[in-house]
Structure 1
């Protein structure tokens, strides 16, 4: 045991040393009689316990206690004195004194010292245990928070996947239903006798517009449920350029339209140099436009929207981050958690609930992640994390669609009677000769029995699918142009997926213009 003995009376020091050496084997005692000696001892800190008199010619025991506890809060201090009082003892105990012993009762000192050191040891262990428990509790809370966030992400992905499977079938059936609506209204609008009545023409145009809007809704449904196709092509892009383009494209909404309502919104950009990302530029622009529109809606009295780009280095090669922040009305916690759910909206009749679901789906397909922070009355911040690109750009050149030079003999294969009849009528109006079949097997039999310049076939059909029919026809006539119709999927992905099997893919609902363009493209000489 190492003892620091603070007493300016040499006789008292000697008495205390004799008592300690008799009772404690191997005790080491450092004597301090002056202020400079005390300061030097405090600097060294080579003691386990401090014994101090109360009355010192250069200080007092309470000041010694305070100086020791300031530097060594866990070192016990015992006051050994004959000049104190109960009041001094009580004050000392309040300030951390371990014990108070009168010099006339010196026999109790060795045992009091051992007890004080043991109490401090137990206190240190208790404090350490409490700290470790608190740290463990904080770590557990953080782990629980991360687990809840991970579970929420998994639930979100499972919900989107389930909705996607459902929406895929709905989209197919919905597009088949929209095809005759669009087709028949186009046929009627193309008939001068029908459109001679202005009111009839107006009603037809309204029906046609409503059908087109419905087709766009289905198209947006595809965006949040489809996964990335193997043949989906991307390019390394500069996100700073994408951000600037998105700001310009949305200016009509956040500047002109807002100012016309007396709302003033400022859009700021804080763009740092960042690596390229492998992405679809059109989809990234759609993501940013949706987030900017959301920010505008969150600023009914005006405010600021800030777009930032920066990098996060871990994990290698790191993330490129795009942040869209507003100081608008903000979201409560329930809304923040549910904001990416399809069809969830707080805008009533003014919102479809698809915007952020589309954003989520696009970010997921880019192997990225999206975070959102929001507080009521403080605003919202969306952060998109995209992996830095490693590949070189792949630029695809598209052929221009030439104008068809002649009328064609066409085989139309479609299992839905109403869709088949509308498409047949379109083709006849264009001057083509048309034979029809209701499934792939019937279509193949007609193809073998006659000669056709072009085959137009639906994809999903009973007996034999359009894909199987195309394979059989290409075996017989490899150069025969084939147009594939489908109510499933995205036009770009469908074209890539079937590019080696057919010459062109048309996504339902098929319009007269799209059909003309497709025929012109595949039959160009």
Structure 2
């Protein structure tokens, strides 16, 4: 049944309209309205499908009726049937939602039925479209497949809930930027997708890994199309989570690998004993461990590896520049050489050789797939070399002997049917243990030879140095007993005896000091000491020796140097030893310079001479006990070589440091002693005046979120900032940062860069995707051991406001934070 509300105050016109409508519509019900009260009641009931109204009404007009109807029933069609309207009225009515306008006249009345039918069809069409849209939207929302539309630069235009769930976001961020999509794809995958879209406009069923907002990787299947809409480049994408299938495939692969590994393990067991036996024979054949390690590398290729290289280190430096390497082909050897050099300069301290050297723990990678390597390192050159070698699996084991890390052995295979397993790792560790023992034995043997040589040289020098003053003592003593010397010669004899006796006393005192040091029996009488007084007393003691050789002693003693806690006698012994050495090794007419000055909280004594100098080969050993640059019988300068060893020990007992510098033989030497000054009120106020900006009062209310996977570094940063009054929340991973931001919004983020799973750059990209109220615009400082200019630019490009290299300078960290806080206030 069609129900029509007919509004007209002329009964004749209403009758004409009804007759006209009844001709077209059989099942028709017309409710007539002639006065305002009837209209109000009809609108209240609302039992009609369509409204036909006159324009000119005694109580109102058709426009008001139209607006009242649309206000209550916006989807109800309204037709104006009038002979009193104008074109302007018709236009205004159409703007207000009128469906049709029919003129009352004999020739136009027939249009009323057509207008009604057309309006009803439009209502039906709109309803169907709305229903279709609702069903489509419901289907889109219920799909478990992510659907999105984005611009070519990666700005997200629209998406369904499944897409947000897939990338790990609950809601779409309010503020979006370009490249919203790109961070979720692996770098190379995204570049390849865009390249293919530009070439052929579509990508079908590409499988790849996606990094969710929480940093976890999932496997997805991606299809994309590229179109132009209104002059804009548009990407329509479909992403399906296939992680379950991939995990099932991986489990099947792992099962096959385990079965293969079991077979390989059995085969490996047969080969291991003979290989270990031959390796032991080789390593024991010579004390030249470079040659024996080279033989070992050649032994394990190709039995255990397709490429093997060995690095021996001492004090974190390579012992051999010439590489110890073996490979199945010259091409792989050449690539491995480049890879080996790369390891030395690698920034990936948590990956590969550097990590094994740092931790002392072996690394076993059974499946060195692209996905694994990409997840472990951001170094594109490293990835390129591993792919060129066609690396399938590798092991890196440390060389450890007596708890000392001596280097590493890397075993690498490029054969698809060879995957290293725990049995292979056990074999590699056994080989490494034998190699480390061989290296250690060779070093111990060499050290024993050196120790024997040094002992023999020292005993020879000791004998010489003790006998030398005895000769004039005994000789002049015999002459004195003969009573044949006149008064002048007697005085000369006594002076000679006294001088040589004092020299012998000094030798004995040095020997006793060394004995006390070796037994840990040397003690200090500590009290506040003025270093200027100590230095002047030592200079006065050696002044006569300097004048005999016409050596000028120039001194500059800064009066602002504070006191130190120390033993005045032992400190004077330190300065006297260094001055005596300078005068001893400086030729006649030379010069010795003595400086005392403050360096921060340290007092520095610097003694420079124009004398013999120190060879660059001997410089690292200048403070060693019993070591002398020249121990030959033809040497020009006497002494036991104990003075500088005593100096180092006494300085270190006072909490200080001593170092030596020289450009080489004949170019003089400089000795530098640093001692901690006593912190006084004047010193503190002076330092505070220099770093006023570094300790602003605003730190009292500052909330700081700090993240570093290294506990010691994290504790240091926390201690520095809490010492300034800030409240610090310390966490050890990027995931904990995201969780903390979800709970509260701190004022500042201080983040390490080199962290496992998600580094500082990836973390900040995730943070910047958050809305401002959730910390998306939080100021951030990067702390990193990667201190190059490129690293600083990378940090700023990633969204950090500042970059501070490790080791951390507390004043720089605090000043940087203060500047960021002030900039935030100024904004």
TM bucket normalised to smaller? 0.3 to 0.5
Whichever of the two has the greater Rg, that structure is 2
